[in-house]
Chains A and B, each alone.
Chain A
Amino acid sequence: MKILHLLGHCSNWNVDAHYKNGIGEGFVFCAYSFPPEYFTQKKIHHYSTSEILSKSFIDLQYFGKKESGSIDRGKFSHYSFHPANNLNDDSITNVYLIDSIIRGINFQLELGLTNIIIPNYYENDDINKLLVIIRQINKWVAQNKHEGIRYYMSIPLSNHTIIDNDKIENILISLTDIDIAFDGYYIVCESKPENRRKLSVDYKYLRNLSRVFEVLKKQNFTTIYAYANWDAIIFLASTDIDYITIASFENLRNFNIRRFTQNEDGGPSKGWYFSEKLLNVVRAQVIDLIRAQKGLEIIKNDKNIFSDAILEPLFQWSNQKPDVHKNYMVAVTRLLQNISSISDLENRKNYVLSIIESAIANYEALEDKKVFLEDENKNYHLRTWQSHLRTK
């Protein structure tokens, strides 16, 4: 398993985390935040562009186009071939869709990338439309494949789709068909957590997304789990996923089609402390209470300089400070690497069950100190994770 940084707002934090702190093995640039001219400059955040591109992917993010005529365009309009430039829905035909995908592939090839993420459209409900596009692009890739280039087809799974066993089986049958020429799949899944939650605890979501990774791996495809939150832990527990993305902000950790069709500002926030011991985040405002109750050791990440810095009593919390996000990057990377280092999948599952058990005990230890966490901070997910893994 390799970690990739999914880059958007404040991407310098990720690039620094990679070069200065050794976190992750590459980058995925999101087109919303980076125009094509960005890749022609000599340096990106003080590092050689060619060096960075040699370990990079580009996600052209065609997702929003078919869901709404009023796509939030960001930097998309800088890409002449991007479907965001064509706002007249009436003119959208399958020929246009396929053509824009092929032009998206060619753009990446011309840039010299060796790992191509084939952009794809989001379909809320009608998987046949999704499959028609995939089949046509597969045919094109089979005929136009360049040696030494790896092609990863984007598979955007709407929440409607991922919770439907039959749709998932039909998609998997197509993705694993005899004539598939793709090297792997870039999986983007809409998790739709409940209000005031960061993670979905929908059992069907957990079961079916696990199945997607398991089947694709079994059939020898490379798998990339994009827009992953830390529930990647659960999926990695049962499958050797090849790449998992980490990111600073919610919009790149929790895929939601609304973010591509409406301009949504996250708003001001003091930020969150991600605790590898709770397998969850804690709101900045609660940290003082935990400290006062002498509970910091229960949640504190080990060997993490960013965690040390932001847990200092005088630290001024803000979601716009890099250390808050770098704490997450270090902690989640360590968790994922520890899990993936166990090659035997039965032992791996037991290891993940053991860290879930520890996290539950840590929540209880906090309660013993009269710290009762609420909303997304509380333990709303760990028992579901346990059940999910134990019933596999």
Chain B
Amino acid sequence: MISQTISQQLLDHYNISGFHANVKQGGQKTVFFPVRDGKKQVLKLFQNGYNDRLDRELEIYDKFKHLDSIPQIISVENFNGCCFIFEEFIEGDTLCDIENRFIGQSPLITQLLKDIFEVMTPIWEQKLVHRDIKPENIIIRENGKPVIIDFGIARDLDGATLTGTGFQPMSWRFASPEQYAGDKFKISYRTDFFSLGTLAYYLYHGQLPFGNSHNEISTKFQNNDESFTYNSAFTLHEFCREAMKFSVSERPRAINDLIKLL
């Protein structure tokens, strides 16, 4: 099967009557937005078939299926050698589509972060890390509550690692120094803290704290230059300073210690 198309046979088999949004192409999967039995859903098609990473993602969804702040898995399918999952479609806006609303709005960002902490705390407490928190992976429901999606590169810190030494999957804009360095030993829930600090800064200022290119950010990390400028009205600078410590061990250990800075 070609990654960006779905065969008529499959459409018929699963009662897909059409699509409610354009297809999205990710690193290892293609995401379709089918309408099935009159309901909007998400269909994730994995180019390389069923693998350990998908297995881990499914485990996470299963472990936290009681939470309404991460998507529910409807079914895992294997059809004609293709591996794909049907997932709940979250009605709402992706944070990246509405990020302009947050510029200069500390109280709005504070509330969003508190909600994200509420979602992520039980996940971190189970020694899991998302590793890819960014506006594209946060959907804001109509009631304003965030849903965290795409646990595709999440890591179970008690489980075996799926990445080799020297490489860490990441989105460069919100990634931490340990992800840039490819240091898998240092990946932890505090890696997500760093991304949340970066997200808070980005939403307020409309730009990233340590540079606007992969190279600029990488240079700051390598030079251990933790300085960043911020608008004087930005009330979350202390939160950002602690969450974005380059040293993992210096970021707050207790989740509540970081929440208190909001």
Contacts and interface: CB of A to CB of B under 8 A. Distances in A.
Interface of A: 169-170, 172-173, 175-180, 215, 218-220
B201 interface: no
Given A173-B186, A219-B253, A178 B124 contact: yes
A220 B260 CA distance: 15
Interface string B217-257: 00000000000000000000000000000011110111100
B189 interface: yes
Interface in B183-206: 185-186, 188-190
A269 to B, nearest CB: 41
A28 to B, nearest CB: 26
Contact of A178 (B185, B247, B249, B253): B253
Contacts of A219: 249, 252-254
Interface residues of B, number: 16
Nearest to A179: B127
A170 B188 contact: no
A295 B252 CA distance: 51
A219 B249 CA distance: 9
Given A170-B185, A170-B186, A173-B186, A178 B250 contact: no
Contacts of A169: 186, 247-249
Given A175-B249, A176-B249, 4 more contacts: A173-B185, A176-B253, A178-B255, A215-B247
A219 B257 CA distance: 9
B125 interface: yes
A177 B188 contact: yes
A129 to B, nearest CB: 14
Contacts of B255: 178
B186 A178 contact: no
A170 B187 CA distance: 11
Interface-centre pick from A172, A177, A178 (highest chain B CB count, 10 A)? A178
Nearest to A166: B183
Given A178-B124, A178-B125, A178-B255, A172 B249 contact: yes
Contacts of A176: 249, 253
Given A173-B186, A219-B253, A178 B248 contact: no
B50 to A, nearest CB: 31
Interface-centre pick from B125, B189, B247 (highest chain A CB count, 10 A)? B247
Interface in B82-127: 124-125, 127
23 contacts: A169-B247, A169-B249, A172-B249, A173-B185, A173-B186, A173-B188, A173-B248, A173-B249, A175-B249, A176-B253, A177-B188, A177-B253, A178-B124, A178-B127, A178-B189, A178-B253, A178-B254, A178-B255, A215-B247, A215-B250, A219-B252, A219-B253, A219-B254
Contacts of A173: 185-186, 188, 190, 248-249
Nearest to A171: B249
B179 to A, nearest CB: 14
Contacts of B124: 178
A143 to B, nearest CB: 16
Interface-centre pick from B186, B190, B252, B253 (highest chain A CB count, 10 A)? B253
A169 B247 CA distance: 7
Interface-centre pick from A173, A175, A176 (highest chain B CB count, 10 A)? A173
B183 to A, nearest CB: 9
Nearest to B255: A178
A172 B247 CA distance: 10
Given A169-B186, A173-B186, A218 B127 contact: no
Contacts of B252: 219
A23 to B, nearest CB: 34
Contacts of B250: 215, 218
Contacts of B253: 176-178, 180, 219-220
Contact of A215 (B189, B190, B249): B249
